[in-house]
């Protein structure tokens, strides 16, 4: 089964477009083993999400123990919900191939985030895994994204700006020959979400930046979903993971995830009715 098929199945089954970022930060989480923390979050929210998204940096920062916890986390989910490896890899073709094998074959992720800065050959090895998905960084949610992503790439005298993120979206559309390419577009840039959706009407958008980063869920859902009300994954990490820092953290995470799920479904209902 392809990533898109798994995602559609899970989204319909759970009536959810919510993705929880499994980003364990020892400074914020209860005094628990990383895997035990993740397992409690997963067990409390499995029926409320369409995907999980571990950010590899939080595991790499804890060395071998962190990577072991990551592997155990993916195994615990065991194919029940798609898992996106948020690695943001990007390198020359030979090295990119090793990154793809690590993410897809060793860790077993259903999808991975990839940095397209070095061009097609840095992305191509990931595309060869037809049952997996590649989410290309397009318009990211961080404040410094504008340093490069807003650069005008239009020819001299064109009379209108063609921002770099638009070029990335157009390239990703070309690369999507296997229907396994998606785009990362931050919720902190709702206007750009709309532009990217217009360029790529049928591709899946991964939309981070909701919650702690201040992205508008209302705008992200209205602009990010496709004509059928799907085709988008709305990711939140800290707002859900650390809804409580006490012993009830898993119950609080469930309430936060369910609240986000209900809000998304309410926005979709209003959009459909309007």
Mind spelling out the 3-state secondary structure of the chain? CCHHHHHHHHHHHHCCCEEECCCCCCCCCCCCCHHHHHHHHHHHHHHHCCEECCEHHHHHCCHHHHHHHHHHHHHHHCCCCCEEEEEEECCCHHHHHHHHHHHHHHCCCCEEEECCCCCHHHHHHHHCCCCCEEEEEEECCCHHHHHHHCCECCCCCCCCCCEHHHHHHHHHHHHHHHCCEEEEECCCCHHHHHHHHHHCCCCEEEECCECCCCECHHHHHHHHCCCCCCCEEEEECHHHHCCCCCCCHHHHHHHHHHHHHHHHHHHHHHHHHC
Cα Rg, the chain, nearest whole Å: 18
> pLDDT value at position 64?
97
> pLDDT value at position 150?
78
CB-count burial class (<10 Å; 0-12, 13-18, 19+) for 273? exposed
> pLDDT value at position 119?
95
Q: What is the pTM of this model?
A: 0.95
- pLDDT tens digit at each of 274 positions of the chain: 899 999 999 999 999 999 999 999 999 998 789 999 999 999 999 999 999 999 999 999 999 999 999 999 999 998 899 999 999 999 998 999 999 999 999 999 999 999 999 999 999 999 999 999 999 999 998 889 888 887 888 776 666 778 989 999 999 999 999 999 999 999 888 899 999 999 999 999 999 988 666 678 999 999 999 999 999 999 999 999 999 989 999 999 999 999 999 999 999 998 777 6
> pLDDT value at position 121?
94
Find the helix packing angle between 190-199 and 217-224, rounded to 10°. Answer: 10
d(CA 31, CA 5): 37
**Catalytically active residues, by annotation:** 88
- What's the CATH class of domain 3-273? alpha beta
Domains in the chain: boundaries: 3-273
d(CA 230, CA 3): 14
- Residue indicated by tokens 């469930």: 254
């Amino acid at each position: 089964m392809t990533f898109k098929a798994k995602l559609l199945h899970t989204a319909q089954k759970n009536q959810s477009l919510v993705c929880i970022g499994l980003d364990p930060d020892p400074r914020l989480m209860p005094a628990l083993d990383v895997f035990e923390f993740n397992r409690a979050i997963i067990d409390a929210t499995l029926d409320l999400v369409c995907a999980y998204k571990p950010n590899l940096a939080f595991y790499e920062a804890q060395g071998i123990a962190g990577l072991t916890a990551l592997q155990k986390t993916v195994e615990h989910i065991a194919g029940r919900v798609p898992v996106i490896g948020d690695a943001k890899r990007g390198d020359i073709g030979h090295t990119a191939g090793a990154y793809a094998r690590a993410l897809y074959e060793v860790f077993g992720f259903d999808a991975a985030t990839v940095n397209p800065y070095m061009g097609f050959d840095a992305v191509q090895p990931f595309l060869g895994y037809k049952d997996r998905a590649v989410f290309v960084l397009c318009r990211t949610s961080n404040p410094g994204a504008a340093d490069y992503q807003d650069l005008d790439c239009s020819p001299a005298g064109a009379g209108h700006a063609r921002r770099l993120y638009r070029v990335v979206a157009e390239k990703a559309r070309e690369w999507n020959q296997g229907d396994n390419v998606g785009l990362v577009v931050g919720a902190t840039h709702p206007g750009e979400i709309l532009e990217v959706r217009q360029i790529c009407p049928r591709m899946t958008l991964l939309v981070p930046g909701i919650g702690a980063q201040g992205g508008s869920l209302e705008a992200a859902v209205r602009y990010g979903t496709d004509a059928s009300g799907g085709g988008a994954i709305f990711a939140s990490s800290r707002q859900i993971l650390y809804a409580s820092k006490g012993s009830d953290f898993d119950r609080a995470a469930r309430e936060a995830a369910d609240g986000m799920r209900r809000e998304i479904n309410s926005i979709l209902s209003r959009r459909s009715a309007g």
